Amino acid sequence: MSSTSSVASLPGPLTQQWLELAFKTHEMLLSSGLVIGMRTGRMARAGLAPSADDIAEFQLMGQEKLEAASESGIAMARQWHSSHFSLANRVLQQWLQSTTAFFSLAGSVTPAQAAAHGDAFVQSAADTVDAASELPAIAARIARQGLKPIHAAATSNARRLSGLDS
């Protein structure tokens, strides 16, 4: 069962994005707790004379953490870059439209022109608000991309160490 199925009926795509991120984070934290408990127990049992299997597991633990952190950082940077470029382009377009609408309003000669240009300026302002409202969705996408590799490592380790992959 997908962890996102329980939020499918909630209103608003932004709310759903953040709730899906919260559920994935929760799942990752539960898996991490399980893995930490199993590995800490293994370290305690190994004591000062760990077996070859213990040493291999401890080395794997460090390697997995570095790989997941690296993948997470790269994924977040990629998502930030693509989102930043898209949003910067939209903001520039909105700025140009707002400036044009403002100067058209300022240059109105008749009341009819002022009304038409005023409507265009208000619409431009509303479009600017829409562009700014993309920021929370962008933040959710960046966080989701950053969580994916860490979530994958934690849940995979939890399955492997609890014997569910056997």
Is the pLDDT assigned to residue 5 strictly greater than 70?
Answer: no
Residue 2 reports pLDDT greater than 70: no
SS3 state of residue 120: helix
Global confidence as pTM:
0.70
Structure confidence by residue, pLDDT tens digits, 101-135: 999 999 999 999 999 999 999 999 888 888 888 88
Contact 54, 46 (CB under 8 A): yes
Closest CA to 79 of 4, 6, 147, 166: 147
Give the helix/strand (H/E) hosting 135. Answer: helix 134-161
Report the pLDDT averaged over residues 71-79.
96
> How much is the pLDDT for 123?
93
Say how many Å lie between the first and final Cα of the chain, rounded.
20
pLDDT-based confidence at residue 50 (cuts at 50, 70, 90): very high
Q: What is the mean pLDDT of residues 133-151?
A: 92
- pLDDT given for residue 1 in this prediction: 42
Check pLDDT > 90 for residue 12: no
Of 154, 158, 156, 166, whose CA–CA distance to 65 is shortest?
154
Which own/partner contact pairs does 60-67 have at CB distance under 8 Å and 24+ positions apart?
64/153, 64/157, 65/153, 67/149, 67/153
